[in-house]
Structure 1
Amino acid sequence: MRRRDFVGLAGATLFQVATGPTLALDDIAAALTRYAGPPAPGPAAPYDVAGLSKDVHRAKAGYQACHYTTVAKRLPHLLSRLDDAASALEGDERLRVHTLRAEAYHVAASVLLKTEERGLAWLAADRSMRAARDSENPTTTGASARVLTRALMRDRHYRAAADFASDAAQRVAEGTEEHTPDSLSVYGALLLSGSVAAAQREDRAQALTLLDEAEDAGRKLGGDHNYQWTAFGLTNVLLHRVNAAVELGDAGSAIDYARRIDLDNIDVTERKAMLFIDASRAYSQWGKLDKAYQALATAEQIAPEELGTRPMVRALLDDLRSRSTGHLHTSVTELAERTATTR
């Protein structure tokens, strides 16, 4: 990251976050436990697949923009409509709807994982994988495997997560005669997911190997793109090098990687916010509490809801507050209070 961007963003005026509605988790739970039956007898109801596609696109884009409250409100109705359409349609339209279901359940699982709703997250991740399988598209299956990998990591099954992601990446490669931008992006993103899991189990060798393989895929892709909603490219590889270094306790290396990243190359708000959260974790490990606070304050500017939904961030704030004094203690406390209003 360019140093002037890092320091400049960290020193800017903070947003004041007003108390807002909580995520509609009960409604999502109801949608996940609603099992669509066979289509009703009589003429099939019309289903606007193009309209469903637009709504799924909106949900994916909203998630990447960290608009979690809005996305959570829309998901229950969208999931029900998609399930009904999959039961009623046939042929290519049905396959297309299964792809959309895989993406929508992926979003649901991702939102639930951020809020530590692990049981529901597992259900949504499994639904995403099953829908992806029904789509008969190896790239879609690989894309859904990413969220199942994260569910495994959240339950601390790091070895299983790393192996699952690596195997899924290999299946994407084997299921594609010649890589397309979509398949290459999913392949590379799976390698990055595996590298995070390996780093979390402190397997430095596997983590670095998977990062290097992902970097090779990023070079082949030739730029930073968002094919299959992966935000994959060489910049994303660097972002994951930051994360892996933090997980491995290499605070200095994490900051060095972060300073190499050009913020202009990060189009996905969630990834940009996570960069500053990881930088804060690294500074905290390093004992540079003021810089850890500045990085979190910058993440708040970028995506207030990202801070509010992550228990990890609240734990980091509690740690910073317990170790700080004076003006810094006051600033951290105020940030923690603002963050609490976005839950």
Structure 2
Amino acid sequence: MPEIPGSIWQRPDMLAALRARDIGRVLHLVRQYAGVSQTSIGSMIGMSQGKVSGIMSGSQQVTALEVFERIADGMDMPDAARLALGLAPRTAPAPVIPSRDDYHRHAPSFSAPSRSVESVQRGEDETTVRRREFVGLAGAALFGAVVADSTPAAEPASGVEDLAAALTEYPPPASGVPELAPLAAAVAQAKQDYQACRYGEVLTALPALLRSLRAACTALDGDDQLKAHALSAEAYHVAASIMLKQEDKGLAWLAADRSVQAAQLSESPLMIGSSARIITHALMDGGHHRAAAGNAGTAAQRMDADLTRPSEDELSVYGALLLRGAIAAAQHGNRHTAAELLDEAEQAGRRLGHEGNHMWTAFGSNNVLCHRVNTALVMGDAGTAIEYARRVNIDALPINERKATLLLDTARAFLMWSKHDRVLHILRAAEQIAPEEITGRPATLRLVRDLLATAPITVRREAHEFADALGVST
């Protein structure tokens, strides 16, 4: 029998689902964070896989107290989770024998159990009594949660809300002078986690990292301050990228603008060029495709003027800017400009000579092919997109985020071709490579809904099973 790590029950999203008594959401979170299949969950809680699937999809609801208790017992929920769900703890506290002076203060704690016994003795159904007490306990737990004194130690804020606070706090928080070496390591870790599609870990780490970087930029001077600004530009770049995936346009734009400002303060042409990529992406996300293409093109031209003997970092940033500009041009409907920029990026990839991840760009000839897939898809040419996708050596791509993006673009192309079985297989492959890219992105979940809405009978059952596992319904 698989075990569920105890840390899962302490997660804010899990506690919220338990307090809402949303068992479907609870099961989704167990599956997501523990990697437990629907069949295994059913074995734990004494249900068929079909019943578990129905609860997760929302077609069946859990309302009976006995079922709540069976689920809690089967999953070995700790007492904190049971209380959040509105159930009595398994380990009841030792009875307190009150002193004469404390008698009235302690007496009510003994009344609840006797009420159940007395009610049953009067002929009431025991299940009815227990259900009524469950509702009362749940109400009390909910009221306690609402009126409780909220402190950071009690329950952390959601990652997005904490990031929003970190992006908008002024003046900088007072603290000692942070050391640059640990900050550089933390920024590198955030970049690595993002490219590995560990978005939850990135969101957890970013708020404190941004605050420390802001303090460093304020307290340091000279070359150290310039380095702190460069690190800030990269950290804000990651923050903007995460928010773009979450489709939070406001925070994405704010973080992208912070990245550009920090890059300018760093006085590093390389960092200024790198930050131009994220502001271009933010412009594209806001529908400003012409401005995005112009921004990327200008930044690339500025770098090209200095690329007589470019380093690998410079070639990679230059090539990545061309790719970003090509996507923006395609979204603006400018097929000719998009093709020109892609060809220039291909030349830069040949000059680089290998698949690299310099300056966190994942730039190389295979990445250029990935962008050819995307531009063809944007312009409605599914056949060309698929042909380009077949030429990509996905194993040569250096980061999972790029692999997952390629797979999702290819799935969209096959959906345009009504090849639903291939869409499903590709989505399953993407989930194996980058689970959070599938479960945590609104755009991906919309793709799954499109698959459900149009799937023929031959793949409908499998498509629904896959969607149920993700918590997606039509």
How many pairs are equivalent? Answer: 322
**What code does the residue aligned with 2:168 have?**
T
Aligned counterpart in structure 2 of residue 270 of structure 1, from 387, 397, 401:
401
Structure 2 stretches lacking a partner, 5+ long: 1-29, 35-155
Aligned counterpart in structure 1 of residue 166 of structure 2, from 16, 22, 31:
31
Are 1:246 and 2:377 counterparts? Answer: yes
**Structure 1 residues 23 and 248 mapped into 2: Cα distance closer, same or farther (>3 Å)?**
farther
Aligned to 1:84: 215
Are 1:209 and 2:340 counterparts? Answer: yes
Q: Is the 8 A contact 1:138 1:171 kept in 2?
A: no
Counterparts of 1:96 and 1:65, CA distance in 2: 25
Q: Tell me how far 1:161 sits from its aligned partner.
A: 0.8
Counterparts of 1:24 and 1:52, CA distance in 2: 20
Counterparts of 1:46 and 1:23, CA distance in 2: 27
Are 1:56 and 2:191 counterparts? Answer: no
Q: Tell me how far 1:18 sits from its aligned partner.
A: 1.9
Aligned to 2:94: none
Aligned to 2:262: 131
Q: Is the 8 A contact 1:254 1:279 kept in 2?
A: yes
Tell which has more relative contact order, 1 or 2 (C-alpha 8 A, sep 6+).
1
**What code does the residue aligned with 2:162 have?**
D
Structure 1 residue ranges (4+ consecutive) displaced by more than 4 angstroms after TM superposition: 19-23, 37-40
Structure 1 stretches lacking a partner, 5+ long: 1-15
Q: CA RMSD in A?
A: 2.0
Counterparts of 1:288 and 1:23, CA distance in 2: 38
Q: Is the 8 A contact 1:36 1:84 kept in 2?
A: no
Counterparts of 1:333 and 1:70, CA distance in 2: 29
**What code does the residue aligned with 1:137 have?**
S
Counterparts of 2:434 and 2:322, CA distance in 1: 26
Aligned to 1:149: 280
Aligned counterpart in structure 1 of residue 253 of structure 2, from 122, 135, 141:
122
Aligned counterpart in structure 2 of residue 312 of structure 1, from 421, 443, 460:
443
Deviation string 1:71-97 (CA, Å, 9 cap, x unpaired) is: 100000000000000000001110111
Moved more, 68-77 or 320-329: 320-329
**What code does the residue aligned with 1:27 have?**
D
User: What percentage of residue pairs aligned between the two structures are identical?
Assistant: 49
Aligned to 1:18: 32
**Structure 1 residues 251 and 277 mapped into 2: Cα distance closer, same or farther (>3 Å)?**
same
**Structure 1 residues 220 and 22 mapped into 2: Cα distance closer, same or farther (>3 Å)?**
farther
Deviation string 1:235-276 (CA, Å, 9 cap, x unpaired) is: 110111111111111111111111111122112000001111
Q: Tell me how far 1:36 sits from its aligned partner.
A: 3.5
**Structure 1 residues 38 and 118 mapped into 2: Cα distance closer, same or farther (>3 Å)?**
closer
Aligned counterpart in structure 2 of residue 98 of structure 1, from 206, 226, 229:
229
Q: Tell me how far 1:47 sits from its aligned partner.
A: 2.1
Q: Tell me how far 1:232 sits from its aligned partner.
A: 0.4
Aligned to 1:180: 311
TM-score for the superposition, normalised by structure 2:
0.65
Aligned to 1:169: 300
Deviation string 1:206-248 (CA, Å, 9 cap, x unpaired) is: 1111100000111111111111000001011011111111111
Q: Tell me how far 1:318 sits from its aligned partner.
A: 1.2
Q: Is the 8 A contact 1:23 1:68 kept in 2?
A: no
Aligned to 1:4: none
Aligned to 1:296: 427
Q: Is the 8 A contact 1:225 1:232 kept in 2?
A: yes
Q: Tell me how far 1:291 sits from its aligned partner.
A: 0.9
* SS state at 1:293 partner: helix
**Structure 1 residues 327 and 288 mapped into 2: Cα distance closer, same or farther (>3 Å)?**
closer
Q: Is the 8 A contact 1:17 1:304 kept in 2?
A: no
**What code does the residue aligned with 1:18 have?**
Q
**What code does the residue aligned with 1:211 have?**
L
**Structure 1 residues 39 and 304 mapped into 2: Cα distance closer, same or farther (>3 Å)?**
closer
**What code does the residue aligned with 1:325 have?**
P
Aligned to 1:279: 410
Moved more, 205-214 or 252-261: 252-261
Which is higher, the Rg of structure 1 or of structure 2? Answer: 2
Aligned to 1:337: 468
Moved more, 315-324 or 69-78: 315-324
